[in-house]
Amino acid sequence: MQINEVTRLDRDDQVAVVTVASPPVNALSAAVRTGVAEAMAMAYADAEVQAIVLICEGRTFFAGADITEFGKPVVEPSLRQLQVIVEDAPKPVVAAIHGTALGGGLELALVAHYRVAVPSAKLGLPEAKLGLLPGAGGTQRLPRVVGVERALEMMTGGEPIPAADAESVGLVDRLVPEGALREGAIAFARERIGAPLEKIRDRPLSLRPGQVEAFRQANAKRFRNLAAPEAIIRSVEDGAAIPFDEAMARERELFNELLAGPQSAALRHVFFAERQAAKVDGLPKGTPTRPITHVGVIGAGTMGGGIAMNFANAGIPVMLVETRADALERGLSVIRRNYENSARKGKLTAAQIEERMALLQGTLALDEVAACDLVIEAVFEQMDVKQDLFRRLDRIAKPDAILASNTSYLDLDAIAAVTSRPEQVIGLHFFSPANVMRLLEIVRGAKTDVGVLATAVELAKTIRKVGVVVGNCYGFVGNRMLAARHAQAEALVNEGAMPWDVDRVIHGFGFGMGPFAMRDLVGLDVGWVREKSTASTVREVLNEMGRHGQKSGGGYYDYDDRRNATPSPIAEQAVIDFSAKLGIERRAVSDDEIRDRCILAMVNEGAKILDEGIAQRASDIDTVWINGYGWPPYLGGPMFWADRQGLPAILDRLRALQAAHGEAFRPSPLIERLVAEGKGFADA
Ligand code: T1G
């Protein structure tokens, strides 16, 4: 019987089955909540019904509250009201879980009397990733099921656990065969007819003295600046000392504080921005894509090896091409070592390593990529080198193969122009380490065919990257803004700041690492051409001293054998000497000036990028900087952050910086237009 547009109620003998079908992820929208409440009421009233199964159709069990409803008036029944209906059922209720039971979805399953799941299911409370806490009793019920330690980790880290782990800790009562969830759940429900109706809320919750504080201290660095993990810890801590209903009220109070706070607004923006990025202007939904069944990667260095891993991880065979046997051997051994590191962390099994390594074939013959559907080059970042390679690939690759460049800065159209197939050339800009960083800048050339573009966007999802389509310009989106920031960082050091002052301010803003510490990590000599060195910045001076960063024991910082960094007196003297060489009289530079010049230079460059159409939307720029450069997600990205500051204030500050430091701070006309119209980047 159809209860409403998304809910059905059927009977299998004495077992009622409440089925929800609300694509795409069965989020607990008002329609879903209403349908389930009505179906439950009917099942309770039906004397022939002795047990009830709650199940979803489509790809997953309820994936949480409906995030699109946040900030709007609550339509009853609220999730908590629905939970009371289910928890007070006069008959056993079995939640049947597949896909990802997340957030409110898992919290609804926790008020059912039992939970069964298929092995491929995952269960989690990811609210912290949205700057929230599990606001439907998760902070009180989960610890009563899986224990305080595991519950705190699941809620503060937000990572789901596989059904088998859930079963081992009592979060799932039974695993049922894949593809037979409904039958398995009904059979399980039938067994439970007449069993006592135990509620999780009635289980005891006891904390060992200092247990929660120990968790808080052990994770202080990990949760630096984050509001949600601390609120979750507090909800568990406070809840253990008061009656359940008071604890639920405390949880709701903490939830509402987070919901109203800036971090949740930012993180919900990030969630939707990442998904919006896959919606490309001029790329109709359903544009035909090409199957990518074999990939060629040219270059087995750090980038090439990391790129190749992404495809092997997705089960796609890779032909990895090098020019020298020792380089190829080294590349493949680095890949294996990366996998072995993952296995040591329990993320991979030995069998999975072998499966992936078997997908990675190495060769010294470029011809071997002739059958590949996609060939990606990750060779030296120099135009003539790339053009020469593309001329050769154009002759070797099969006619419909896509040729992609991993270039970080160079003109993609100039690369495409040397081929006979510019419409099949695209940029796939991975970020180092390419097998880890989630961002993939998809660079659309002037002639790139929409089908090729659609294939790249789809491929990003296949290899679990956050794909952002960007236009072709020097540095595209991310590196162009990074260059603007770094120009200011260098200038600030020449004028009077020390590298560690800039790093301290940028780290204090929320980045994991400042620009100079990052340079030391990557290597000051990356991209440095000794012969052409003109010592135009302190970096060149340090390179000429043999100070190439962490790998040489020192760069801007000195490093001990555990790579702990201390500001280098040698670098300090090099900075002072370099200012003198430039004829600059060093001055005191405030933290505010450092922050404004570094961050606003990025925002202004982002506005220009948006105005030129290099990025489709401001949130794409946010997505690039969060997933490729470590912009703190809880600040939403550079454009979201600027909107939060208010563009009028940003414009005033840019004008003041322009007066003091010149043209680099001439406000983008877009910012002036938006301020005049009373709008923000989100409206651009
Ligand atoms: N609400 C509304 N829409 C959602 C949604 C949700 N919870 N989850 C996903 N969508 C949309 C998404 O925007 C996209 O839309 C489409 O579904 C496919 O998503 C009280 C307060 C479930 C693992 O945090 O992690 O419960 O772009 O592209 O890669 O304590 O979606 O197609 O228009 O991501 O297969 C807690 C969030 C909410 C889970 C599927 N739940 N979702 O991944 O598809 S807060 C979450 C996900 C809460 C309670 C609290 C993933 C997924 P469109 P997708 P996917």
ipTM here? 0.98
CA–centroid distance, residue 429 to ligand 1 (Å) = 27
Q: Give the model's pLDDT for residue 551.
A: 87
Average pLDDT over residues 351-367: 96
State the pLDDT confidence band at 534, using cuts at 50, 70 and 90: low
User: Going by CA atoms, what residue is nearest to atom 54 of ligand 1?
Assistant: 275
Q: Do 497-582 and 2-260 fall under one CATH topology?
A: no
CB atoms inside a 10 Å sphere around CB 165: 15
Mean pLDDT computed over 358-367? 97
Whole-model pTM: value is: 0.94
| 565 DSSP 8-state letter | E
At 206 the pLDDT is 83
45 pLDDT exceeds 80?
A: yes
What are 167-194's pLDDT values in tens digits? 999 999 999 999 999 999 999 999 999 9
Is residue 24 in contact with ligand 1, taking CB distance under 6 Å?
A: yes
Q: What pLDDT sits at residue 535?
A: 66
Return the active site residues: 107, 127
Residue spans of alpha helices (H) in 22-180 = 30-45, 79-87, 104-109, 138-146, 148-157, 163-168
Q: Find the mean pLDDT for residues 383-410.
A: 97
Give me Rg for the CA atoms of the chain: 28
- What pLDDT is stored for residue 221 in this prediction? 93
pLDDT of residue 384: 96
Residue 467 has pLDDT above 70, yes or no: yes
Instruction: Report the CATH superfamily, name and number, of domain 295-477.
Output: NAD(P)-binding Rossmann-like Domain (3.40.50.720)
**213-229, pLDDT tens digit by residue?**
999 999 999 999 999 99
CATH number for domain 2-260, candidates 2.40.50.140, 3.40.1080.10, 3.40.309.10, 3.90.226.10:
3.90.226.10
Under CATH, what is the fold of the domain 497-582? Answer: N-(1-d-carboxylethyl)-l-norvaline Dehydrogenase; domain 2 (1.10.1040)
| pLDDT value of residue 526 | 83
Q: Is the Cβ atom of 642 under 6 angstroms away from ligand 1?
A: no
Which residue has 């960007």 as its token pair? Answer: 470
For atom 23 of ligand 1, the residue with the nearest CA is 100
Cα dist from 615 to 424, 502, 506, 605, whole Å: 21, 28, 25, 11
Contact yes or no for 403/393 (Cβ under 8 A): yes
Domain boundaries, the chain: 2-260, 295-477, 497-582
Looking at residue 530, its pLDDT comes to: 63
Give the mean model confidence (pLDDT) for residues 585-591: 98
Model pLDDT, residue 533: 55
Phi, psi at residue 156, to the nearest 5°?
-80, -35
Q: Which of 44-48, 502-506, 524-528 bottoms out in mean pLDDT, i.e. has the lowest?
A: 524-528
Q: Give the atom of ligand 1 at the shortest distance from the alpha carbon of 102.
A: 41
Q: What is the pLDDT of residue 532?
A: 58
pLDDT band of 297, cuts 50, 70, 90:
very high
- Could you tell which of 22, 25, 111, 276 is best to mutate to test the pocket of ligand 1, judged by most ligand atoms within 8 Å of the CB? 25
pLDDT score of 664 more than 60 = yes
Percent share of the chain, pLDDT over 90: 94
- The mean-pLDDT minimum among 151-155, 375-379, 548-552, 680-684 falls in 548-552
Find out whether the beta carbon of 27 lies less than 6 Å from any atom of ligand 1: yes
Answer yes or no: is pLDDT of 285 > 90.
no
Atom from ligand 1 closest to the CA of residue 134:
30
> What confidence score (pLDDT) does residue 71 get?
84
C-alpha–C-alpha distance, residues 254 and 155, integer Å: 14
Q: Is the CB of 25 under 6 A from ligand 1?
A: yes
pLDDT, the chain, mean:
96
Answer left, alpha or beta for residue 104, where phi above 0 means left and psi between -120 and 50 means alpha: alpha
- 347 touches ligand 1 (CB under 6 Å): no
At 183, which helix (H) or strand (E)?
helix 181-191
How far apart (Å, rounded) are the C-alpha atoms in residues 636 and 130? 11
> Hunting for tokens 């253990």 — which residue is that?
240
With a 6 Å cutoff on the Cβ, whether 128 touches ligand 1 is no
Mean pLDDT of 139-151: 97
